[in-house]
Structure 1
Amino acid sequence: MLRRVGLAKRVLTTNRHYSTRFGYAHSRCLVFSDFGQPEKVLKWVASPPLCMNPIEGVYPEKPEFTLELGTGGKSAVPGNEGLVEIVSCGSKVNPSIRPGQWAIMSGPNFGTWRTYAQAREANLIMIPDKEGISPVQAATISVNPSTAYRMLNDFAGLEPGDYFVQNAANSGVGRSAIQIGRLWGLKSINIVRDRPGIQKLKEELRSLGGTEVITEAEAKDRRSMAKMTGGQPVKLALNCVGGESATNLARILGQNGHLVTYGAMSKLPFSVPASALIFKNIHCHGFWISAWSKGNEAVKSQMIIDILGWIRDGKFRDIPYEITKWSEATGLETLMEPVKRGISEYSGRKGIFLMEDD
């Protein structure tokens, strides 16, 4: 599941029109009027555009279709993540919020695949200090690193020296979990699919702080797994794959361990062995950062500050990404290329739209 990120550089707050002190802003966006395959339903609009799942209509949080975008019928703008720069504020906006400041989305379905937008204060989390932080780093902080942070912090009561295990360890969340775990003194067993160049990938994840990096096949060897941990129980398992891979995580967990599912890349259900439930008393949970964010605004803001601090201090490395530049001259075909790649292949890189000043 590769999520495409909209990186907007300009946003209006609390104004009812797309207007700034410089005059009216001409906004260009990608929109869709019905759910379906992104390459079929996305279209280009030049007026007042997560990821693929909301566009396909298979995500629990669905965007609101509206007539306000100037299209013939109701439509919506995709894009959950992003960084915005304030260009104008309404008279009732908190005076601490000023043009030039950066902010990220406080929740899903903001619609970041556009060059301009208007928002309320509640839609945004302000970046208190952008010194030493790149726009890409700020834009990609609210989902992958935040998901990893919460799962390591909120389940199993992990302490320095404890083990956790995860599949899809080379994903954005996986790479974040490795690094946050290292910063908190945790040990990690990181499972990846076998592939050409697997040794290079293993070395890369170890360089991030992964204690052990193994393939799905290697993870099935119980004796080898016990030897890796020195017999120390694994307290937490992070599942993004589902299917047989998730079932294997349940088997790896120790007594009273916690299995947390936050994704289903294989799109396959999984079973938990009865022995793991009865004799090891493992606990199964689901986690979704969008649902967690509601009602945890203050905690989320502090978490963002923590992660930004690690980035600023050079303790947290960027996840791999690829940029598609978006300017006034950019056509629909150019913007659709990364969308199509996100559907047809798994590149291991996060896609980012970078809006450029015209």
Structure 2
Amino acid sequence: MASLRLVSFKALYRSSSSLCNLTHSPSFAVRAFSAIFSPSSTAIVYTQHGPPDSVTRIIELAPVQLKENDVCVKMIAAPINPSDINRIEGVYPVRPDVPAVGGYEGVGEVHCLGSAVKGLSPGDMVIPSPPSSGTWQTYVVKDQSMWHKIDKDTPIEYAATITINPLTALRMLQDFTNLKSGDSIVQNGATSIVGQCVIQIARIQGIHSVNIIRDRAGSDVVKEKLKKLGANAVFTESELDVKNVKALLNNIPEPALGFNCVGGTAASLVLKFLRQEGTMVTYGGMSKKPITVSTSSFIFKDLSLRGFWLQKWMTSDKSMECRPMIDYLLGLTREGKLSYEMELVPFSDFSTALEKALGKHGSQPKQVMKF
């Protein structure tokens, strides 16, 4: 566990933050003899996989020596995503080796730079792009290629959460069917952040959205919230327990594309709405129930079933398109055209935020830790 050792030589590195500024000083002629270190970092780590509320702990990490292309970023905010929890549990397909620092996306401010870094300056606001592990700590050191500079006017909670859920929504709307203004899509899990983003991005593109939510107390309030975001129709699962769901669409065209993040019955409802040769894209399975497709859906409607995983897309040759898309999405947040529910919590309240993210307090907004 050497990489996660407790800091025992703080005094030795007490001047590390001042060293960071020397790389931009004309007097830095002794660079070869002066190491540049990050400050020590408070981090949420886990040394084994298991329940996140049992295996995570907060420790202090020793300062890190910067290589010439490294950038040290002082973290501002980072979310707790379901995939973060799955990585800690050890069930996510791609995860860092343990011991590891938690977190996979976030936003920070450039604190100091290696001697060869170009295009970034102390004080710049940056996000890891593509997202990468280790954001649940006060200072993060990564190669300059891992950081993307963003507009400082971006609200920190959106900057911290833009690279996974909103980007998933955008890619799914663009990658599977050639949607045109006036077309429509159908989705379950409409109250999720991806679902909320699908509604809003679709609205901007002139695409109708049909949305399916769970039966629960206050569903009428949820419907109104989604309609304010731009949803054209919102149904509870029980309202779709009819033979001909398409009769409920009124003037909305039959959807060409559907999104499923639930599985089970909720996935079957998405399939019922799809038009001839429609496509359903699965990007999650919250119910942990399998998708069942009728034989007639394949034979007589020729439906297609696809899957989307952002992590895989990020490693493809299309990943270079990622940063312009992030800038586009962040622009929408600054213009007030893209929003979703979040709760900013102090980093020191990690245990409470984790309990909420684990669902121990019922349905909660996404937890975003503010450092």
* TM-score bucket of the superposed structures, by smaller chain: 0.7 to 0.9
Matches within 5 A, 1:16-95: 20-21=19-20, 25-48=39-62, 50-65=83-98, 75-93=99-117, 95=118
Query: Identity, % of aligned pairs?
Result: 37
CA contact (8 A) 1:80 1:111 kept: yes
CA contact (8 A) 1:77 1:111 kept: yes
Letter in 2 for 1:55: I
CA contact (8 A) 2:41 2:61 kept: yes
CA contact (8 A) 1:83 1:104 kept: yes
Matches within 5 A, 1:120-199: 120-127=143-150, 129-131=151-153, 133-199=154-220
Partners of 1:342 and 1:215 in 2: CA distance: 24
Q: State the 1:264 CA deviation.
A: 0.7
CA contact (8 A) 2:357 2:364 kept: no
Letter in 1 for 2:368: I
Partners of 2:227 and 2:359 in 1: CA distance: 28
Higher relative contact order (CA 8 A, sep 6+): 1
| TM-score, structure 2 normalization | 0.82
Letter in 1 for 2:108: V
Q: State the 1:111 CA deviation.
A: 1.1
1:223 equivalent in structure 2: 244
5+ long unaligned stretches in structure 2: 1-15, 22-36, 63-77
CA contact (8 A) 1:226 1:232 kept: no
Residue 343, structure 1, aligned to residue 366, structure 2: no
1:240 equivalent in structure 2: 261
CA contact (8 A) 1:78 1:109 kept: no
| TM-score, structure 1 normalization | 0.85
Cα RMSD of the aligned pairs, angstroms, is 2.0
Letter in 1 for 2:338: F
CA contact (8 A) 2:182 2:206 kept: yes
Letter in 2 for 1:28: T
Partners of 1:185 and 1:231 in 2: CA distance: 12
CA contact (8 A) 1:63 1:109 kept: no
Q: State the 1:99 CA deviation.
A: 1.4
Aligned positions, number: 320
CA contact (8 A) 1:107 1:290 kept: no
Q: Per-residue CA shift, 1:124-176, capped at 9, x if unaligned?
A: 2221x223x11111111111111100001111111111110000101100000
Q: State the 1:91 CA deviation.
A: 1.4
Q: Per-residue CA shift, 1:272-304, capped at 9, x if unaligned?
A: 111111111111111111211123333111111
CA contact (8 A) 1:35 1:41 kept: yes
Q: Per-residue CA shift, 1:150-206, capped at 9, x if unaligned?
A: 001111111111110000101100000000000000001111011111111100100
